Structures are given as structure tokens and as C-alpha cells.
Amino acid sequence: MIKRLRPFYIRNRFFHISLGIIILFVLSFVFPQLFNVVKYLLLVFMVFTLMDIMILFSAKRGLSAERLLPEKFSNGDQNPIGLKLENFYTIPIYAKIIDEIPEQFQVRNFAIKRKLAPSSSSSLQYELRPVERGEYHFGRLNVYASSVLGLVSRRFISDDRAMIPTYPSFIQLKKYDLLAISNNLQQYGIKKIRRIGHTMEFEQIKDYVQGDDIRTINWKATAKKNHLMVNQYQDEKSQPVYSVIDKGRVMKMPFNGLTLLDYAINSSLVISNVALKKHDKAGIFSFSKQVDNMVVAEKRTSQMNLIMEKLYNVSTDFFESDFSRLYADIKRHITQRSLILLYTNFETLDGLYRQLPYLKGIAKNHLLVVIFFKNTELNELISTKAETVQQVYDKVIAEKFAFEKRLIVSELKKYGIYSILTTPEDLTIDTINTYLEIKARGLL
């Protein structure tokens, strides 16, 4: 419903012209011949102002505006917001749209200007990128209408306040969904893995056709049928894949507006979907001082909805993460050998050594992949040429921390624990790469 809060608003052009007339009026005391000119200009100005007001209020409805919102926002992605404007005037109108967008974006100068043709409708769109999960509240949609004279503006307000929930990145999920089905993941930089050996489940015995691997010939069945028969295999399926998210304070570090926790959540959503498309079981849980938000690995149709709803509420509690509790809960609740994708972060070797006994314990019964992050700001500091003593000192310290990250990878490898050291932006691709490699090599 469109309603007016105030009759009209004075525009800058009105003040500029008024200021010019005032200056001429002052100068008329020095140059009396200007006084008649000032009176004439003032009269013309008043006439045009009244004409502008009459034009804007001649139409009963004037303008209507509607905001078109998606059902939910995708965290960390550009989300489109549609605006529909309808001009009921019989003349061209210049519209200035000011949308009261949610306070989380901290935008104070939002404005879109558009010229509207007479008696027409127009659609436009802008984008918002949320970096926090939760509820986003929109206020009113304000439209300022002005004529070609541009002296005053008539304000219309669309009172359509709305709340939009922001979920983990389902746009990223859709991006990889079709690729997972068509096995075209390498198009996005995901490498193609060479399959090693027959790490597949037996499916059936079938007649040999040209092109079948002769190593799969079943000689017993061939002797019985008196023509070549081969064994047909299928990929191993129904293997549990768990995404385990550390929500301790180490995951609160921000990169490009998103925290490491949000990057891990977005990646967990995608890898769970890829696992389900590959006919594996997908599950998730998070931990800090205790293990919670658990979804048991299954491959039912509602599994992705369950995972998304659980990930929606995951937030850091700023505590030191308890890996001993994680080890105990995994040992108690996950009895089948599973792929454990552990999203956490280690900055130093000392930090790893404190948790290493528990990681080794998990790796005894499961295939553990520890996923942690490169510090991209350190990389920028290392690549910058040092010119002062302080810069040399900073660069050496940065190189030391970067080297420790690589040492952590070597230390985990020593104990047979797989690891992924990646940038937040490449997290999803690198995680899918590792999952596909594990499946291709039959490591699970």
C-alpha cells in the first residue's frame, strides 16, 4: 500500500535558485537597477514552483513501488533484489529510489535513480552480499518523484517491511550440483583423478562386448555359456562422509568479510551434496567444548534439508575447542569406518601437538582429513619487498608462520593423516578434489 508521509520535499535545485535570487536582492541595494529584475525572477520562480507542485499532485496514485525478495539469502554470495515501479503520471517522471536495507550491511547512501516513461512500468535490480547467517530485516521502500522542472519532489512510501533468513551458501551448492551429476567437476579447476585398480563393488555378470576390459572376463561363466562373459562393477556406495566443523575461537578469523567458520559451513553443505549425488551417506556435526548439531550420515531424500537447517544455527562460542571430547564422541557414535572431514585451523606446531594424540586416535578407526587455512594476509606480506628494518622483521616473522603451516602438513602426513592446506576461497574446490581422489583410489 502506497501512502504519503509529507506533501512534498524541497530539492537542491530549489535552494540553489533561491540562493541566487537572494544574492541578486542584496546586490540590488548597491545596484538599484537590479531590483526590478529580482522581482521578475522571484515571480517566475514562484510560478514554476507552484506548477511543479500541481504537476506532481495532479495524479491521485502517482507512483507505486514493490520490492521483490527471494525466499532466503545465500551467505557469502551476491543475492538479487528486484524492484518494480509503476508510473501513473501522463508525463515522464524522474524517480529516486531509497530502500531501507538491513542494518547488517551498514549502507547509509543507498540510492537508485531512474527515468520513468509516461503511464508505464519499469523493473530494476540490485544485489546484496550478506556475510552473516541469521535474520535480515528490510524497512520501507521510499520513492521520490520529480518532474522535468526538478524543484520539488513528492515522496511515496511502500510500507512492505520484510524479514529474510540467510542460510549457508545454497547458490554455491547449486553451482556444483549439476557438475557432480555429470562428472564435469574438473571444469572448475577440480582435477581428474586416475582410478587405480578395481576398488569397486561387484554388480553383475554380462556378455562381453567390444571395448570391455579383458581383465574382467569371468572364465567360469564363459565355460558354462560357451561365449565370453565379463564381471561388471559399480563404484562403492553408501560410505559415510562426515563434515566436522570446529566452531571454537580459531574459526572466527575473517577473510573477505566471511569468517573461517562460514567458509567451512558453505564447504560442508557442498561436499555433503556431492557425496549424496555419488550415492554415499552424508552427515555433519560441530564441536567446541562439546559436540552438537549432529546429523547422522544417511542418504535419504530429506538429508540436505536437515543438514542445511543444522548449519543455519552454527555459530562460534569463542571457547578453546576440546578435541578429547570430539575423539570420545566419534568413538562412541560413529561405529562404521567413515571419511571424517575436519574443518579447523592450526597456526603453530605447538597448537597441533596439543591435539595430535586425539587426531591419531580418530585416524585409527576412520579416514581423517584435517582441513585448515593459509593466512592470505601473510602471503601478501611475504610477497611485498621489504625496504625498512621493521618491514624486514615483519617479513621474516610472516615467513616463519607460513613455514610452520607447511610443517603441520608434513607432521600430519607422518602419522598417516591426510590434510588440506588451502585458502578460504579455494576451500570448496580443494575439499571436493580430495573427496574424489579418496573415492577413486579406494582409500575409504
Q: pLDDT grade, residue 7 (50/70/90)?
A: very low
Question: What's the distance, Cα to Cα, between the start and end of the chain in Å?
Answer: 59
Mean pLDDT of 59-72: 88
CA angle 118, 54, 85 (to 5 degrees): 35
How far is Cα 192 from Cα 309, in angstroms, rounded to an integer?
Answer: 32
Q: For residues 232 and 278, which has the higher predicted lDDT (pLDDT)?
A: 278
Decide if pLDDT at 106 tops 90: no
Residue 356 in any domain: the answer is yes
Decide if pLDDT at 2 tops 50: no
What's the grid cell of residue 427? 576451500
How much is the pLDDT for 43?
Answer: 86
Q: What is the pLDDT of residues 313-329, one digit of tens each?
A: 888 878 889 999 999 99
**3-class SS at 119?**
coil
Q: How many domains does the chain have?
A: 4
How much is the pLDDT for 417?
Answer: 93
Give me the DSSP letters along 310-334: HHHT-----SPP-HHHHHHHHHHH-
Mean pLDDT of 89-101: 90
Decide if pLDDT at 239 tops 80: yes
How much is the pLDDT for 159?
Answer: 72
Same domain, 127 and 186: no
Decide if pLDDT at 124 tops 60: yes
Ramachandran assignment for 76, one of left (phi > 0), alpha (psi -120 to 50 degrees), beta (any other): left
How much is the pLDDT for 369?
Answer: 96
Decide if pLDDT at 175 tops 60: yes
CATH number reported for the structural domain that contains residue 278 in this entry: 3.40.50.410
How much is the pLDDT for 174?
Answer: 78
Residue 3 in any domain: the answer is no
How much is the pLDDT for 236?
Answer: 58
How much is the pLDDT for 384?
Answer: 80
Q: What is the pLDDT of residues 353-394, one digit of tens each?
A: 999 999 999 999 999 999 999 887 777 778 888 888 888 888
Same domain, 371 and 437: yes
How far is Cα 413 from Cα 338, in angstroms, rounded to an integer?
Answer: 19
Q: For residues 408 and 202, which has the higher predicted lDDT (pLDDT)?
A: 408
How much is the pLDDT for 178?
Answer: 58
Mean pLDDT of 225-249: 83
Same domain, 189 and 86: no
Select, from the ranges 214-223, 371-380, 407-416, the one with the highest average predicted confidence (pLDDT).
Answer: 407-416
Strands (E), 73-146: 73-74, 79-87, 93-99, 112-116, 120-128, 134-138, 141-146
Among candidate residues 204, 267, 201, 285, the one with its CA nearest the CA of residue 239: 201
Same domain, 134 and 212: no
**3-class SS at 193?**
coil
Decide if pLDDT at 14 tops 80: no
How much is the pLDDT for 377?
Answer: 78
How much is the pLDDT for 326?
Answer: 94
How much is the pLDDT for 242?
Answer: 96
Decide if pLDDT at 16 tops 50: yes
Give me the DSSP letters along 55-85: HHTSSSS-EEEEEE--SSEETTS-EEEEEEE
Q: What is the pLDDT of residues 197-208, one digit of tens each?
A: 445 555 678 888
Residue 1 in any domain: the answer is no
Same domain, 230 and 240: no
Instruction: Supply the mean pLDDT for the chain.
Output: 84
Q: pLDDT grade, residue 102 (50/70/90)?
A: very high
CATH number reported for the structural domain that contains residue 119 in this entry: 2.60.40.10
Residue 305 in any domain: the answer is yes
Residues pairing with 144 in the sheet: 96, 155
> Is the separation of the CB atoms in 319 and 246 below 8 Å?
no
Same domain, 296 and 217: no
How much is the pLDDT for 286?
Answer: 93
Among candidate residues 171, 177, 185, the one with its CA nearest the CA of residue 435: 185
Share of the chain above pLDDT 70, in %: 90
Q: For residues 370 and 16, which has the higher predicted lDDT (pLDDT)?
A: 370
Q: For residues 441 and 177, which has the higher predicted lDDT (pLDDT)?
A: 441
How much is the pLDDT for 332?
Answer: 92
Q: pLDDT grade, residue 395 (50/70/90)?
A: confident
How much is the pLDDT for 129?
Answer: 93
Range of the domain at 80: 63-167
**3-class SS at 203?**
strand
Same domain, 155 and 51: no
How far is Cα 22 from Cα 33, in angstroms, rounded to an integer?
Answer: 15
What's the grid cell of residue 126? 540490485
Residue 267 in any domain: the answer is yes
Alpha helices in 92-226 (DSSP H): 170-182, 219-225
Same domain, 378 and 264: yes
Q: pLDDT grade, residue 282 (50/70/90)?
A: very high
What's the grid cell of residue 114? 531512474
Same domain, 77 and 118: yes
Residue 254 in any domain: the answer is yes
How much is the pLDDT for 86?
Answer: 92
